[in-house]
Amino acid sequence: MADSVYKVIELIGSSDKSWEDAAKNAVETAGKSLKNLRIAEIDKLDMTVEGGKVVAYRARVMVSFKYES
């Protein structure tokens, strides 16, 4: 591997269906404006509860992409 620099950012995606969809939404939305996405790592999962029922899922995702100057 050649010398490279990568930047890591934190994203939070949400979904009313699943944590998987929440993480996918975060990464795919970021991918529309960030080039060279490399790795996505799930950092934390949580959900919103209303009236004793789960109404939303959230995934905190750490995403890295190649830094180009």
User: Residue 27 has what pLDDT?
Assistant: 96
40's enclosing H/E stretch is strand 37-50
CATH code: domain of residue 34: 3.30.1660.10
The one-letter amino acid code at 52 reads G
Q: Are 38 and 2 in contact (CB under 8 A)?
A: no
Q: Does 59 map to a domain?
A: yes
Query: Which of 25-29, 31-35, 64-68 comes out lowest in average pLDDT?
Result: 64-68
The whole domain housing 57 covers: 6-66
pTM, rounded to two decimals: 0.84
Q: Does 25 map to a domain?
A: yes
Q: Does 45 map to a domain?
A: yes
Termini Cα distance of the chain: 18
The one-letter amino acid code at 18 reads S
Interval 29-49 mean pLDDT: 94
Q: Are 56 and 45 in contact (CB under 8 A)?
A: no
User: Residue 48 has what pLDDT?
Assistant: 96
Q: Does 1 map to a domain?
A: no
Residue 1 has pLDDT above 70, yes or no: no
Interval 46-61 mean pLDDT: 97
Q: Does 48 map to a domain?
A: yes
Q: Provide the sign of the torsion angle of the four alpha carbons 47, 48, 49, 54, taken in this order.
A: negative
Q: Does 33 map to a domain?
A: yes
Give the chain's domain count. 1
